[in-house]
Amino acid sequence: MTHLPQTPGPIGIFDSGYGGLTILHGIRQVLPEYDYLYLGDNARAPYGPRSFDVVYEFTRQAVLKLFEMGCHLVILGCNTASAKALRSIQQNDLPQWDGGRRVLGVIRPTAEVIGSLTKKRHIGILATEGTIKSRSYELEIHKLYPDIQVTGVACPFWVPLVEYHEADSPGADYFVKKRIDEVMRKDPEIDALVLGCTHYPLLMPKIVKYLPAGVRIVPQGEYVADSLSRYLQRHTDLDERCSRGASVRYLTTENPDTFKLQAQTFLHEEVEVEHIEF
């Protein structure tokens, strides 16, 4: 049994990089009173192309670090980590570490609401290669809505477009249009498109530009936030172990100055960042 702090602590948000900042932003809009601890494993990003075993081990290290720093609840604000590591951590690691702590992902909350967002029962998923290959969205959606047809397409260049500040460039149009055309060609009946990577909302102007009329875009931030709010209402014992000081602390395994620069792209505000090692 790992000895972990038992006093109330912040809600942990983990991502392999910067995209989880969009999840953090959405959660803070709904639950501003809580303390948050954001950890970006930027030195080892991206996770998308990595194997299941590697993503699991990296995510496991990060979650344990957040627990050691006082978190009782950790949100994997990363679709790849949610797809490749969440279930193993929940089933194998939590019982050994501390049965009272929780780790949640970003895929289930989106799956829960998708049934109310599609009339034709045909949806598309745009995500990283790792998330698409895992079929996690398809599996979660079919648990709840077996009648919905799910079509996924990997978008390998979308994350670099955001992180290299090319999201607004003319060159981004080619890559965005290509993947939207591909998913709509695979299933022209799609009427809801899930952005299954936390970076993708920063490409929203381009996505809107090339998406056919009548197709609804489903970003994750607001749905994850609403789901978390309901979760804490149901689990009052866990809620009491989440401290409330309206603070946010940012940690990165990379250079803090680099993180600060990227964070402005996602949050539109300056943040203080600390370097951390596992």
Give the confidence band of 1 by pLDDT, cuts at 50, 70, 90. very low
**What would the 3-class secondary structure string for 189-205 be?**
CCCEEEECCCCHHHHHH
Give me the mean pLDDT over the 97-103 stretch: 92
* CA–CA distance, 103 with 107 (Å, rounded to integer): 13
Residue pair 261/251 in contact by the 8 Å Cβ criterion: no
Average pLDDT of the chain to the nearest whole number: 94
Give the confidence band of 65 by pLDDT, cuts at 50, 70, 90. very high
Query: Which strand ranges, in their side-by-side order, compose the sheet holding 11-15?
Result: 102-104, 73-76, 11-15, 36-40, 248-252, 273-275
pTM for the full predicted model: 0.92
Q: Is-cis flag, bond preceding 205, omega within 30? A: no
Give the confidence band of 2 by pLDDT, cuts at 50, 70, 90. low
Q: In the numeric block, which tokens belong to residue 152?
A: 């996924």
Question: pLDDT digit string (tens) for 217-253?
Answer: 998 888 999 999 999 999 999 999 999 999 999 999 9
What residues have CB less than 8 Å from 84, skipping those under 6 apart? Answer: 47, 52, 55, 56, 59, 130, 134
Does 256 score more than 50 pLDDT?
A: yes
> Which residues are tagged catalytic?
78, 197
* CA–CA distance, 59 with 85 (Å, rounded to integer): 7
* CA–CA distance, 176 with 153 (Å, rounded to integer): 12
User: What 8-state DSSP symbol labels residue 221?
Assistant: H
* CA–CA distance, 166 with 168 (Å, rounded to integer): 5
Going through the chain in order, the beta strands assigned E by DSSP cover 11-15, 36-40, 73-76, 102-104, 122-127, 149-154, 192-195, 216-218, 248-252, 273-275
